[in-house]
Amino acid sequence: MSDRDIDQQLVERAQRGEKRAFDLLVAKYQRRLARLLSRFIRDGSDIEDVTQEAFIKAYRALPSFRGESAFYTWLYRIGINTAKNFLSANGRRPVVNSEIEDEDGESFDMASQIPDMNTPETELMNKEILATVNAAVEALPEELRTAISLREMEGLSYDEIAKVMDCPIGTVRSRIFRAREAIAAELRPLLDTAKNRRW
């Protein structure tokens, strides 16, 4: 039985009024949703509040969930919309956390560009690369930042991102391409890569 099938069974049980089934979905996706929302909201307590609000909205909307997309795709969409509403209501612009984990940096395929030796110079270079990637992501327009975060940080497929962002898959591909190009433009001077190479 696939992960999606398990989620669907839990959703159906929750739709029949079994609260424990929804609690299991919350336990399964709370950290992942909070991690996604941390790409847009800086304050930890705000992230917790928005995550909780997204789950409340999901619970209330559960009767309308038909299983046409995976539960987590549907949940991420609710989470992103809740974060946008929160930021809009508070007159704030979405931000990106000031730190990017190594795994996130490597997901941009930079590992082959960074020397392996752990010297003070290479550690400084690694920090500079990660800071550059973070600043480049933060500077992206919201649609590009959302698309690249869902792809590179959350590992969603193009189809899943299209459902979360409620747009055609071609638009998702374009947004991710444009985001990668913008990030690559910032990295080129640091990595000394040719203009025709993205990374």
From 148, 162, 74, select the one nearest 104 (Cα to Cα). 148
The reply to whether domains 3-90 and 120-195 share a CATH topology is no
pTM of the model: 0.56
Per-residue pLDDT tens, the chain, 199 aa: give them: 888 889 999 999 999 999 899 999 999 999 999 988 888 888 888 899 999 999 999 999 999 998 888 898 899 989 988 998 888 887 765 544 433 333 333 333 333 333 344 466 666 776 787 788 888 888 999 999 999 988 887 888 889 999 989 999 999 999 999 998 888 888 888 776 445 444 4
Whether 35 and 153 have beta carbons less than 8 Å apart is answered as yes
**3-90 under CATH 1.25.40.10, yes or no:** no
From 163, 150, 169, select the one nearest 107 (Cα to Cα). 150
Which amino acid, one-letter code, is at 2? S
In 3-state terms the chain splits into helix, strand, coil percentages (rounded to 5) of 70, 0, 30
Q: Where are the domains of the chain?
A: 3-90, 120-195
From 68, 58, 55, select the one nearest 8 (Cα to Cα). 68
120-195, CATH topology level:
Arc Repressor Mutant, subunit A (1.10.10)
Whether 47 and 41 have beta carbons less than 8 Å apart is answered as yes
